[in-house]
Chain A
């Protein structure tokens, strides 16, 4: 018994080794080094200079940081909620025996294989102020032109529209697969007992889909928190910083202003926020399971 355990342990180590080698060098090392770097001032050239908490102090007194923080949260929460709900509704719709649903499904997922750079460029053209298709039609209908990407009040929501177009298909397919995986007997039994479609949905579909809903929510939140491509292509973080997220700020500080220390401090704060959210989420899950 004892011997078998030891052999298994050594064996598990070999199975894990290749991954953890790559992991250590290309993830762990760079990720951990943001911590010491966040206490320095460094512009890539020369040697880093220790400055204590100066970076953090200047970040918290910077109104652009507060703006980026709020942009990130508004974007992440809206995209996650809309993508999850819409994905589920579309999956339910496409699960009905409607004619043409296979074609509809193909068309809905198609944008997902288009790169976000292409999606961004395409929508930048559609959102174009004077000649873009959306404003052209608005004008024809006698409506005022909308500065989809130039109005600081609107730009972030325009990016949300693009993201929904681009990625709802993936969620739809995942949900669709999960819905089709629910045993038919459950519904048959419920109908025998006289349950309505809505009751079936509430008491069978939703509980059965709970794990996949959780999975999709986490995935969407993680992805939208890291949104970069759309902001880079569509607005370059503008106008007036209205589409600058934490991630975008890290990028500009590091690769445009070459302030590695400052960008590291931003990264540390970002990671701290994520870890707090995750711990919070784990607590909620634990509470639910108990």
Chain B
């Protein structure tokens, strides 16, 4: 009994320490963003600012096209998710259920997108996008980010473990492959779709590298690029030392939406992974 109590105590202790470790940076972020510049660079750390100010936020919203960047991020993320789903779902179904020649070879080609780092061919992709006139367009930011085979892999795994009886019955009723796919498979695949949407959306929303290269125009620039290039580097250049109050305010503004979505969608996020099983 005593042993149990001790182990329980340690479990609470570890959980507490871990939670604090994860929480501290967020508190630093909030606290710094509310401090006037003079109090940011202080030799002692203050969790609650002496004077609380919203000047940093005002400055960011006035000096930078922050809302435009947010909108761009939303468009690029939404587009990437839609395109990824609409090309990966049918392919995942085909790999899981349909008979075809050279299936293994084709699937290896898909897995190549997971193996070969995006960076290996980024310069060539950039040249291609420029040639096609897609530089500084939404399409140029979306389409190259939809080739990842991760979703196909996920859908194939998920569809493979669905019981085949339903489909067999449908085949007897003379249902076509498309009918089976759209009427039987799609509704059953919802959990995997949820997982894929979250995977793809988070990845796309966070992507820094490709938008950094493929967009130089504020009209299509996404949040991570605006934040790390415009706000961070420009402000650092202007002040020699980055004005961390302003930078943290910008950072905080950029995470409000994903955090709200996350809290709202947490159930689906966790359920999606749970029901997918990924076995």
Contacts and interface: CB of A to CB of B under 8 A. Distances in A.
A136 B31 CA distance: 15
A42 to B, nearest CB: 10
A228 interface: yes
A195 interface: no
Contacts of A9: 99-101
Contacts of A117: 206, 208, 224-225, 227-228
A104 B94 contact: no
Interface in B125-149: 125-128, 143-144, 146-147
Interface in B72-129: 83, 86-88, 90-91, 93-94, 98-101, 106, 109-110, 112-128
B158 interface: no
A121 B120 contact: no
B15 A11 contact: no
Interface in B229-279: 232, 242, 244, 247-248, 251, 254-255, 258-259, 261-263, 266, 269-270, 273-274, 277-279
A270 interface: yes
B15 A101 contact: yes
A271 B116 CA distance: 6
Given A9-B99, A110-B22, A181-B274, A15 B91 contact: yes
B98 A232 contact: no
Given A34-B124, A250-B120, A260-B123, A27 B147 contact: yes
Contact size range, B: 35 or more
A173 B244 contact: no
- The residue among B110, B244, B277 with the most chain A CB atoms within 10 A of its own CB is B244
B115 A274 contact: yes
Given A8-B177, A140-B44, A23 B273 contact: no
A23 B143 CA distance: 10
B170 interface: no
A64 interface: no
A231 to B, nearest CB: 11
Interface in A20-40: 20, 22-23, 25-31, 33-34, 37
B12 interface: yes
Contact of B44 (A136, A169, A260): A136
B95 to A, nearest CB: 8
B14 A93 contact: yes
Contacts of B18: 90, 93, 104, 108
Closest A-B pairs by Cβ, 3 of them? A30-B124, A177-B274, A15-B94
24 contacts: A15-B90, A22-B83, A25-B128, A26-B147, A31-B124, A93-B15, A103-B19, A106-B263, A109-B262, A111-B26, A114-B255, A114-B258, A117-B208, A117-B225, A118-B251, A121-B248, A136-B44, A136-B45, A226-B118, A228-B208, A229-B208, A233-B228, A274-B117, A278-B115
